[in-house]
């Protein structure tokens, strides 16, 4: 295993997180129960949604979101190609067809509302937006477009834990939102996800589908609240367990403080990168307090991104590309899709290390190595 001097992401658990998890194990009740319920009500309050349903992964959250929203065979769902593949897989799990739309610009790597509108057909049922890096992107325009064209707006809010636009949490702009608790996310426990909605019926469907479509839970029966159950739909086992619910609730209390540390580092990256001829993506906009999940730059066209990445790796700095376009993967191949901005972005973009406890010294190391790599490439052209 490579030990990076500066990894892309890093998670530090506090002693009281660990103590709370140990206490949960000592309680003897490990599958979904009171701590999951407590985390759900904490998270619902945190994002300002009526309901939060904890599940086993962000991908499970996306799947249940699509199924509960009534998406199925014959439906088209407009998605970005510049996203993690799970966004698109979820549409396919539900039996629908993903239709890829382009991003707004190299500096604004999220769904373009104009491109979405152009992709609408009589079969379009929903738009599945992904707040890239935790930025709101064009979510308000998309919400207005969906209302006007009677489409369902869904959000893959995996990057957006703690992101608010005019005080409203991202993931609550559509009918349903899906969050991830994966290791490298802002609110991380390893594996886990959360579905949020204000709709009582959708929440009830999501709760049932999460646990085999059953009408009662093991926890209800353990407490003597129910003796048996019916199965009302063919559901899944997408439950989150108690230890991870405990950890999620503990870490949720620190999320705003950790996102503030990310905000300071994001600002500092922008200052330090100013002299370089780069596009630093995701500009600040009025009223937006983002999660700062990612800091991503677009290198000059003349620069060989893979050489830059190799140079940084040689200095012990891990980087990434968010994302290889989904429409160019073997599983979802659509080489005919007209997504020129997505393709150019995916060729030139580079994600830099960012985590709350990244030190100024580590950040300087990243910027110095990037400066050397980019200058070398430009001089040698």
Q: Which of residues 150-169 bind ligand PLP (CB under 6 A)?
A: 156, 158-159
Spot the catalytic one: 35, 51, 169, 185.
185
CA dist 363 and 354 (Å) reads: 9
- Nearest residue to 190 via CA among 288, 58, 324, 370: 58
We find the least distance from the C-beta atom of residue 308 to ligand PLP, in angstroms, to be: 23
We find the least distance from the C-beta atom of residue 303 to ligand PLP, in angstroms, to be: 26
Residue 296 in contact with ligand PLP, rule: CB under 6 A? no
β partners of residue 289: 164
Residue 180 in contact with ligand PLP, rule: CB under 6 A? yes
* Longest CA pairwise span in the chain (Å): 75
**Residue nearest ligand PLP, CB atom distance:** 58
Sign of CA dihedral 72, 206, 51, 167: negative
Task: Identify the DSSP state of 35.
Answer: H
CA distance between the termini of the chain: 35
Residue 376: count of CB within 10 angstroms of its CB: 15
CA dist 231 and 217 (Å) reads: 11
> Site mask, ligand PLP, residues 124-153, x = CB under 6 A?
------x-----------------------
Residue 259 in contact with ligand PLP, rule: CB under 6 A? no
We find the least distance from the C-beta atom of residue 92 to ligand PLP, in angstroms, to be: 14
Size of the residue set binding ligand PLP (CB under 6 A): 14
Q: Is 107 a catalytic residue?
A: no
Residue 186 in contact with ligand PLP, rule: CB under 6 A? no
CB nearer to ligand PLP: pick between 351 and 365: 351
CB nearer to ligand PLP: pick between 58 and 367: 58
Task: Identify the DSSP state of 282.
Answer: S
Q: Is-contact 308 377, C-beta < 8 A?
A: yes
Binding site for ligand PLP (CB under 6 A): 57-59, 83-84, 86-87, 130, 156, 158-159, 180, 182, 193
Kindly list the catalytic residues. Answer: 185
């Amino acid at each position: 295993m490579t030990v990076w001097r500066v990894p892309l992401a890093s998670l530090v658990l506090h002693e009281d997180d660990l103590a709370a998890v140990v206490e949960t194990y000592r309680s003897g009740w490990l599958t979904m129960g009171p701590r999951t319920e407590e985390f759900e009500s904490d998270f619902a309050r945190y994002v300002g949604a009526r309901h939060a349903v904890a599940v086993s992964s962000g991908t499970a959250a996306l799947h249940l979101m699509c199924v509960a929203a009534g998406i199925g065979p014959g439906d088209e769902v407009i998605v970005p190609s510049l996203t993690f593949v799970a966004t698109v897989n979820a549409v396919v799990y539900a039996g629908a067809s993903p239709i890829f739309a382009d991003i707004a610009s190299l500096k604004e790597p999220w769904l373009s509302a104009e491109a979405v509108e152009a992709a609408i057909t009589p079969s379009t049922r929903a738009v599945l937006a992904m707040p890239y890096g935790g930025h709101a992107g064009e979510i308000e325009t998309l919400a207005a477009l969906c209302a006007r064209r009677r489409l369902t707006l869904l959000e893959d809010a995996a990057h957006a834990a703690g992101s608010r636009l005019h005080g409203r949490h991202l993931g609550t702009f559509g009918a349903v939102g899906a969050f991830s608790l994966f290791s490298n996310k802002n609110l991380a426990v390893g594996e886990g996800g959360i579905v949020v909605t204000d709709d009582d019926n959708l929440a009830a469907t999501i709760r049932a589908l999460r646990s085999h479509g059953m009408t009662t839970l093991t926890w209800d029966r353990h407490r003597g609240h129910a003796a048996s159950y019916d199965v009302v739909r063919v559901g899944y086992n997408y439950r989150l367990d108690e230890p991870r619910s405990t950890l999620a609730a503990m870490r949720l209390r620190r999320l705003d403080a950790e996102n503030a540390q990310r905000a300071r580092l994001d600002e500092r990256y922008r200052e330090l990168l100013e002299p370089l001829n780069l596009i630093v993506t995701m500009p600040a906009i009025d009223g937006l307090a983002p999660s700062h999940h990612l800091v991503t730059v677009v290198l000059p066209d003349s620069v060989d991104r893979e050489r830059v990445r190799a140079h940084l790796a040689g200095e012990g700095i891990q980087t990434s590309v968010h994302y290889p376009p989904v429409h160019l993967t073997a599983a979802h191949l659509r080489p005919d899709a007209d997504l020129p901005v997505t393709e150019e972005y995916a060729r030139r973009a580079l994600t830099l290390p960012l985590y709350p406890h990244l030190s100024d010294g580590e950040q300087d190391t990243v910027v110095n190595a990037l400066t050397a790599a980019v200058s070398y490439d430009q001089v040698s052209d």
